[in-house]
Amino acid sequence: MCVFCEYLKKREKIIYENKLAFAIYDSFPVNKGHMLIMPKRHVASYFDLNEDEKNDINLLLEISKKHIDQLFHPDGYNVGFNEGIYAGQTIMHCHVHLIPRYIGDVDNPKGGIRGVIPEKQKY
């Protein structure tokens, strides 16, 4: 069983949930407050989610952002997911990263998510 399905089955680490999705803190956070939002159904690809699952994930993204804002006061966010092995997906259960960003956490944040390919980040 996948690690995310185990959390759901054992009711571990869950910070927020609704009918079709749940949110946890990332076990290997990029920054303080880094959260993961995912469907309860075991599905690897975001593109295989149904509209109701996407809606529930989006609702939890909003709730989780407010939670992080209140606790950690970040200066910005990166939001995204890794789709497939060649995009860096290591757990084959769809999950959206909500990564708080802070002034000074990198020398130059310009290009943001484009940094997944470092030579393409600056433009």
* Strand 35-39 relative to strand 76-80, pairing: unpaired
Q: Residues 34, 93, 95, 97: which is the catalytic one?
A: 95
Which phi and psi angles does 103 have, rounded to 5°?
-55, 125
Best CA proximity match to 57, nearest among 20, 14, 13, 11: 20
73 is known as an active-site residue: no
CA 63/CA 75 separation, integer angstroms? 17
User: Which residues belong to the active site?
Assistant: 95
